[in-house]
Chain A
Amino acid sequence: MQHDYFPRYEPKSGFGKWMDARLPATRLMYDSFVAYPVPRNLNYWYTFGGILSLMLGVQILTGVVLAMHYVASADMAFESVEKIMRDVNYGWLLRYIHSNGASMFFLAAYIHIFRGLYYGSYKAPREVLWILGVIILLLMMATAFMGYVLPWGQMSFWGATVITNLFSAIPLVGNAITTWLWGGFTVGDPTLNRFFSLHYLLPFMIAGVVVLHIWALHMTGQTNPTGVEVKSKQDVVPFSPHATMKDGFAMALFLILFAYFVFYLPNYLGHSDNYIKANPLQTPNHIVPEWYLLPFYAILRSIPNKLLGVIAMFGSIGVLFFVPWLDTSRVRSAVYRPLYKQFFWILVIVAIGLGYLGSQPPEGGYVIAARILTVYYFLHFLVIVPLLGLFETPRQRPASIAEAVLPPGGGGQPAASAAAPETRG
């Protein structure tokens, strides 16, 4: 750990010293979130990790209280959600925070992931950090999917039917696995109960992997927009107050957006069919998942073969695990990679395009467009990124972070000390 730039925890009181010799929890927090050095040039794209931690907390808190009123039963689930909306004190608020919170959580996660792709945050020595992040994404998707089933509306039921049926594509054992997931011959009461149990469990597993993610982050330190590693104390500032203040300000802005949805557009991101109680004998005319799963849904539908479609859908996330090794470039940040930078933005547009196509009916031009974008998505990771590293001529990188962002000749003390009033340490 690159950690001796700022003074570490020193217990002052007698009790503090007594405790520090027995359970150094305060030391861990102080050294991780106060004295911990972060690159001085982190921009606002780097605040989404903190925002994501906040969102996980919001979802667990609102989820725990919603579970006090929710009934996981095919007969009563829908009514219990309506009861939360109408009868429970502030139930409407808690549920809207929870349902919109899921969307905000994914919004922040996708920005966080694309930030990592842009600045090459996955490159050595941060491969494990990146992989842990992809695992968190998978857990988030599983959690969100099961949570969406709980209100037991039409979209809940048929979304659950379609997604669990994905497993029936597995040769030989597919149907047995699907029946095992259902606990019956269709999605039903046993399915709802186990999804509720797992929906309550998985966020705590996410929290566990988040701890590993942060641990791995603090082993290697943050990347930064230059992609140049921290080399001296000039390159860094202490986490508190710099990162805490910046993260806090970004959180406040993010919460304004969140609150706007909760109070003014609470159902904008949902589907109105989910206010119709689940009917096992009638499929809605147009099944769509929540917006944050649409790109993957578009990939699934673009392939006219059940098994290959399922493989492509899981492969679109699976390929992320290998990005640290698929990227052959020696240069980390897209700031100094003129070609990669352009392909990065094409990927962003392709991902958004896939999301749009996933929301459209599976016919005609939409299918053809989805096929083209699906092929491009995989080409980006499997062909373009490996080749770019070999053929691209990167721009000149700065020798250090300080050289990139501080005026020349600043000497030992940063010139921009007004922006860093606490550098007395």
Chain B
Amino acid sequence: MTAAAGAGHGDAEGVTRRDFLLIATGAFAAVGAAATAWPFIDQMNPDAAALALASIEVDISGVEQGQSIIVNWRGKPVVIRYRTEKEMQESKQVPLDDLKDPLARNDNLAPDAPATDVNRTIPGKEEWMVMIQVCTHLGCIPLGQQGEFGGWFCPCHGSQYDTAGRIRFGPAPENMYIPPYSFTTDTVIRVG
């Protein structure tokens, strides 16, 4: 160290004002670099048009029990299924301990709601399954009313869901998601 540093700016450990300036400048440059990088990263996130969350209204008056329709919501297929009594009975008899994913994954309920059959629908409309028909493994679209559990079967990697869209077998980690929806009338569902 120079005599000037020792005399004017240093302390016992020999830390000088120059050291402080170097660290401060470096830190400032690092923050600046990160702030400059952010727009280049964030531009890849969904843009304003994609975020403008569209909701759709679906007329379900023509759907008979045991039938499904698939509608497009935010680019994803949403299945609306009028479930049969048998399907609901089978689903209700499944003990919660048998489920791979114990959570309902229902945007209309609390996030920690258990995955009972009732919790996979909205109150009073248990016969209607409204579900994003996208496999929670790697995003394929499962085929309806197939597989060992009579629900959905994903042809990509063999995941199987039951009649309430809950994962029962295969690599998918979670139950298929229930989007926010409501009945505007008895025959019109609003998704989103």
Report whether chain A binds chain B: yes
CA distance A146 to B86 in the complex (A): 45
Q: Which residue of B lies closest to A307 (CB)?
A: B173
Contacts of A284 in B (CB 8 A): 155
Selected from A165, A281, A362, A367, the residue in CB contact (under 8 A) with B141 is: A281
Q: Is there a chain A Cβ closer than 8 Å to B75's Cβ?
A: yes
Residue-wise, chain B 167-181 has the 8 Å CB interface mask toward A (1 for contact) of 000111100000000
Q: Which residues of A contact B75 (CB under 8 A)?
A: 184-186, 188, 280
| A286/B170 in contact, CB under 8 A | no
* Residues on A with beta carbons closer than 8 Å to the beta carbon of B172: 306
A126 at the interface (CB under 8 A from B): no
Distance from A143 Cβ to chain B, minimum over Cβ atoms (Å) = 18
B138 in contact with A281 (CB, 8 Å): no
Interface residues of A in 141-173 (CB under 8 A from B): 158, 161-166, 168
User: Is B18 in contact with chain A by the CB < 8 A criterion?
Assistant: no
Binds B, one of A175-183, A255-263, A266-274: A175-183
Which residue of B50, B138, B173 contacts A161 across the interface (Cβ within 8 Å)? B138
Question: Do A165 and B50 touch across chains, with their CB atoms under 8 A apart?
Answer: no
For chain B, the count of residues having a C-beta within 8 Å of the partner chain is: 27
Chain B residues lying within 8 Å of A307, measured Cβ to Cβ, are: 173
Surface stretch bound by A, among B39-47, B55-63, B113-121: B39-47
Cα distance A190–B46 in the bound complex, in angstroms = 8
B17 contacts chain A at the CB level, 8 A cutoff: no
Docked CA distance A282–B76 (Å): 10
B139 at the A/B interface (Cβ < 8 Å)?
yes
Knowing A305-B171, A362-B158, the reply to whether A183 touches B138 (Cβ < 8 A) is no
Interface string of A362-384 (1 = CB under 8 A from B): 11000100000000000000000
In the complex, how many angstroms separate the beta carbon of B122 from the nearest chain A beta carbon? 22
A161-B139, A306-B137 known; 6 new pairs, CB 8 Å cut-off, are A165-B139, A179-B45, A181-B44, A287-B140, A305-B171, A362-B156
Name A residues whose Cβ lies closer than 8 Å to a Cβ of B: 158, 161-166, 168, 179-186, 188, 190, 194, 280-287, 301, 303-307, 309, 362-363, 367
Q: List B residues at the A interface (Cβ < 8 Å).
A: 41, 44-47, 50, 70, 72, 74-77, 137-142, 154-158, 170-173
The 7 sampled A-B contact pairs (Cβ below 8 Å) are A180-B45, A183-B44, A184-B75, A185-B74, A186-B139, A362-B156, A363-B158
